[in-house]
Each structure stands twice: as C-alpha cells, then as structure tokens.
Amino acid sequence: MRFYSCTHEFTCGVDLHGRTMYVCVLDRAGAVVLHRNLPCRREDFVAAIAPFRADLVVACECIFSWYWLADLCDDEHIPFVLGHALGMRIIHGTKSKTDKIDSLKIAQLLRSGHFPLAYVYPRALRATRDLLRRRLFFVRRRAELLAHLKMSESQYNLEPVKVRLDRTANRAGFPARFPKGSARISMACDCRLLAELDQLIASLERVLVRTAKLDDLQSFYRLRSIHGIGEILAMTILYEIPDFDRFSTVQEFCSYARLVAPRSESSGKLKGSRARKQGNVHLKWAFSEAAVLLLRQNPPAQKLHSRLVQRFGKAKALSVLAHKIGRAVFYMQKRQVPFDARRFYEAA
C-alpha cells in the first residue's frame, strides 16, 4: 500500500456521493477553513475551493462516481488523488459516522501523509476499459443462459444434444424438444436472448480490437506473442495496465494482479495470508485463463506443467504457471520485447 506524501498549503477531502458531496479543506496547521455540503455540480465545487486553489490538493475515496471529479481537477490543473477504498477503513471506524465526519477524516489522512493511494486511471483510455469490462459482463450472462439450456435438459429427462449450443445454428430446433407450454416458451426466450448476445458481443469485439490497435498496436501484438493469449486476453492486460512504469518491481505488479498471496507475520511467526482479494480481479482472471490456454497443443508448456504438478500438486500448479506468465508479461512490457519462449521454459 502506497501513501500520498506531498505537502500542500491546503488539503481538501471530499466525501463523494451520486448527487451530493461534503467538502472539507484544512490549512497547513490542520485548522478547518471550509466545511460544506454541496451538490455534485462542477461550478459549485470550483467556486467553493477558489480561495485555496493556489496550493491545493483534492482527494476522495474510490467509489463509482469519482470520474467527473478527477476530470474536473485535471481541467482546472489541481492535483487530485484517489483513496484506496479498502485502505481507508479508519474513516468507518469511529463511533459516529456522517458525511461531515468522513470528509474531515479524508482531509486529515491526506494532510498527515497516511492517505492510501489508488490508481487514477488515464482519462483517454477509461471508456474503452469500461466497455471491455462490459463485454465480459455480457459474456458471463451468455454462459449462464447456455448453462440453463443444458440444465433444463436434465430437468425434463431429455437426451442431451450432441452439438454445441453456443453456435446459433445448432439452437434452431432446441425449444421444440420440450413439452408445449411454459417450458417451451422458456427455452425459446433463452435462445432469443442468446442470439441477441451473440450479435452484440461480436460487434463489441470488433470495435474493441480496432480501438486497441489504434491506442497501442505494438503492445497489443507483443502480448499476443505468448502462446494462448488471444485478442481478448491481450486487450484485458493492455487496458487494465496501460502504464507498467507505475510498478517499480515485478513483485509489486504480481501483488496487484493477485498472482501471489500476501504475507501475514507477527512476532516472527507466519499467520497465513490476508487481503487476498485486494488487487485487480480482471488481471487475475486474464492470467489464469492464459495459464490454461498456454497448455493447449504446446508440448514445452505441458512438460513444464507436469513438473509443477509433481512439485506443488495439481491445484497449485496452474497458479504457479499464471504467476510465471505474469512475470514474463511485466518484463516484456517494461523492456518492450516480444515473448521469448526458449528463455521462458529454460528459466522455468
């Protein structure tokens, strides 16, 4: 966890919500010079901080509505920092909790150098990253519908079809296999939704691939040089980590990608691990998928995996392989070189 350590004449803590925000400004001595509840309007916020903006830093907790405040501070050339939601538990630990108290706590953490930092994602790439995550949401809904089709076959004791239902043509006569009435209507609804999702996902993927090539063509194809990483995984890694320079070591990156378990130690004794879910869940998914796909029709990777299974067991072997892929991606992006399969398997 990193903390904001720069000093300013004034520090502004904002307890941000969807429609309102409570603003607290402290001077260098820690005295409150502004404490006011405001609507979430750009002009109101700019007017409120106008007397202090010569040397002011603004901070808020990482919630769903932080985009507009970060963009406003960028337009007004005001330093903005984002608070890590899981690292700011101190503002929720008091006996009384109100918006006024929370804004004061945020400002005090910022002033004292104990404000836990989250990453302010680049403005230009933010919408594309969100669209890529939305595509994943649609893919998962599609998988749920396909699972419901197969489950319904078992419910009605029907012989499972021998074709793949994820293909539109193979679902043409699927609802007719069920009894007339509500059961058949339910299956027809699923098939109609699947047909719409197939078209929607395909159109989104075309737009995303075209955008990724425009944003960073070299990184896109560099990531695809790893066996098993296709367009979707390459775009996920590219847009979740647009700047690898924010990580000084490979250990920091692997921790952020949830590829390693955090240590919990007290009095020289290991207490297992904690905070396993702190980090980027999308990167964890991408590298886990990459580890599975690396093994397909790849004898060197299969040989490496068999050695890892003998050493760590079957459950942990894929996690170790995902960690190795994550380390390789870090150095590839840092050094701007393609994947070196010979060096990867020799080092492993």
Give domain status of residue 223, yes or no.
no
pLDDT > 90? residue 345:
no
End-to-end Cα, the chain, rounded Å: 30
- 236 and 200, same structural domain? no
- 179 and 238, same structural domain? no
Give the pLDDT score at 6.
Answer: 87
Give the pLDDT score at 273.
Answer: 61
Give domain status of residue 132, yes or no.
yes
- 99 and 168, same structural domain? no
Q: Which residues contact 133 (CB under 8 A, 6 or more apart)?
A: 282
Give domain status of residue 205, yes or no.
yes
Last residue of one domain, picked from the residues 54, 83, 118? 118
- 96 and 189, same structural domain? no
Q: Are 239 and 125 in contact (CB under 8 A)?
A: yes
Mean pLDDT across 242-268: 85
Give the pLDDT score at 347.
Answer: 62
Give domain status of residue 224, yes or no.
no
Quote the mean pLDDT of the chain: 91
Give domain status of residue 170, yes or no.
yes
Q: Are 34 and 25 in contact (CB under 8 A)?
A: yes
Q: Which residues contact 246 (CB under 8 A, 6 or more apart)?
A: 119
pTM score, whole prediction: 0.88
Last residue of one domain, picked from the residues 84, 118, 152? 118
Domain that holds residue 182: 125-215
Mean pLDDT across 302-329: 93
Count structural domains, the chain. Answer: 3
Instruction: Label residue 275 by pLDDT band (50, 70, 90).
Output: low
Give the pLDDT score at 138.
Answer: 97
pLDDT > 60? residue 348:
no
- 174 and 92, same structural domain? no
Digit-coded pLDDT (tens) for 193-226: 999 999 999 999 999 999 999 999 999 999 999 9
Digit-coded pLDDT (tens) for 87-126: 877 666 667 788 999 999 999 999 988 899 999 999 999 9
CATH number of the domain where residue 24 is located: 3.30.420.10
- 106 and 11, same structural domain? yes
